[in-house]
Amino acid sequence: MTGPLTPADAMRLALAASSRVHGTTSPNPPVGCVVLDAHGHVAGTGATAPPGGPHAEVVALAEAGDRAHGGTAVVTLEPCAHHGRTPPCTDALRAAGIAAVHLAVADPNPVAAGGADVLRTAGVTVTAGTLAAEVVTGPLRAWLHAQRTGRPHVTWKFAATLDGRSAAADGTSRWITGPGARARVHALRAVSDAVVVGTGTAIADDPALTARDDTGRPLPHQPLRVVAGRRDVVAGSHLDAPDVLHVRTHDPDEVLAALRDRGVVDVLLEGGPRLAGAFLAAGRVDRVLAHVAPALLGAGTAALGDAGVGTIEDILRLQVAHVELVGGDVLIDAVPDSTVVTATPPRTAALSGRTPDAGGGS
């Protein structure tokens, strides 16, 4: 047996537990919970089940059994205080005799929030903010964004050469980056709710948009596959399938509203240049993942089309969150300056926002 865990150590385990259900809980958040016994040893670990199933705390408490009595629950999101599809987690924590709770972030959902106060009133010691910086950029990121803005979170992922090309002059593009970068993309698809491409990319590249392992076998969790744009996809192509959602517009807010209506929280935008440009121009890209290959093409298709930038003053700057070498390619993880959160916008403004003329199908 190892010694007692600190709340931060336990939060790291809770975060890891939440990573294991990332992509399977929407529209609910992927939450992780660790229950420590009265001596600080792990008694139970849990994560949110798919919608309608138990919340993370209930899963962890069930594993802990009697050992939860007098113990501590460490959870990535404030325990809910509401009767939703399941009873309040605050009730479950109290019934189990939990003495202390450490939470990373408050629940922004007004219906479920208030759990910390409910627990304090019941005599439980509550500490908020444990490892909050890690948790808000982890699996809860997209859900927290959706709660704040009313829109799904959008990650624009692209692969390009050093000179910013995503295809050669003749249109060929397989492959610009190496197998390591491609494996990352499949792992990313597996934790996303939806993968979106424009009709231009669907027609030019015939992508499958499924999440596969390195032998080509499908990963357990598959995202909703989405094509955006007015044109029809090619009959018999990968995306000419009954489970593919075809949204007949390039307007980012129309695409996102259609996805939100289907419970989508976390969107992976995979191109092409025109659709990505429309999303960036509208301020609807929340994260950029650029796989940059140390290679040059010169002529060829740029990774990004018109993004509403006509003069240097309007350049879209990003803040780099992380840089990594993946195989022989450089992965840059960045956030557009325009979407760096400075304040909580009113919920009513959520779906209006900036509405530049990003329409027009392809």
Active-site residues, by number, are 57
Candidates 44-52, 83-91, 127-135, 224-232; binding stretch for Zn ion (CB under 5 A): 83-91
Both structure tokens of 239? 């995306």
Q: Where are the beta strands (DSSP E) in the chain?
A: 32-36, 42-47, 72-77, 100-105, 125-128, 153-161, 165-167, 194-198, 224-228, 245-247, 266-269, 287-293, 301-302, 318-326, 329-336
Q: Which is nearer to Zn ion, 91 or 333 (CB)?
A: 91
Candidates 85-93, 140-148, 225-233, 322-330; binding stretch for Zn ion (CB under 5 A): 85-93
* CA distances for 309 relative to 18, 171, 305, 361, angstroms: 38, 25, 10, 20
Distance in Å, CB of 40 to ligand AOF, minimum: 22
Q: Which does 60 bind (CB under 5 to 8 A by kind): ligand AOF, Zn ion, none?
A: none
Distance in Å, CB of 89 to ligand AOF, minimum: 4
Q: Which is nearer to ligand AOF, 77 or 100 (CB)?
A: 77
Distance in Å, CB of 31 to ligand AOF, minimum: 3
Q: Does 151 bind Zn ion (CB under 5 A)?
A: no
What residues from 3 to 62 belong to the interface with ligand AOF (CB under 6 A)? 28-29, 31, 48, 55-57
Q: Does 260 bind ligand AOF (CB under 6 A)?
A: no
Neighbours of 240 (CB within 10 A): 15
Which residue has 């479950």 as its token pair? 92
What residues from 284 to 343 belong to the interface with ligand AOF (CB under 6 A)? none
Distance separating alpha carbons of residues 157 and 275, to the nearest angstrom: 12
Asked if 56 and 46 count as a contact pair (C-beta separation under 8 A), the reply is yes
Q: Which is nearer to ligand AOF, 55 or 184 (CB)?
A: 55
Q: Which is nearer to ligand AOF, 57 or 270 (CB)?
A: 57
**Identity at 72, one-letter amino acid code:** T
Number of residues near Zn ion (by CB under 5 A): 3
Q: Does 84 bind ligand AOF (CB under 6 A)?
A: yes
CA-closest candidate to residue 104, choices 137, 81, 63: 137
What residues from 97 to 116 belong to the interface with ligand AOF (CB under 6 A)? 107, 109, 112
343 burial (CB, 10 Å; 0-12 / 13-18 / 19+) is exposed
Residues 6+ apart with CB under 8 A from 342: none
The count of C-alpha atoms lying within 13 angstroms of the C-alpha of 180, restricted to the half-sphere facing its C-beta, is 11
Q: Which does 18 bind (CB under 5 to 8 A by kind): ligand AOF, Zn ion, none?
A: none
Q: Which positions touch ligand AOF (CB under 6 A)?
A: 28-29, 31, 48, 55-57, 77, 79-80, 84-86, 89, 107, 109, 112
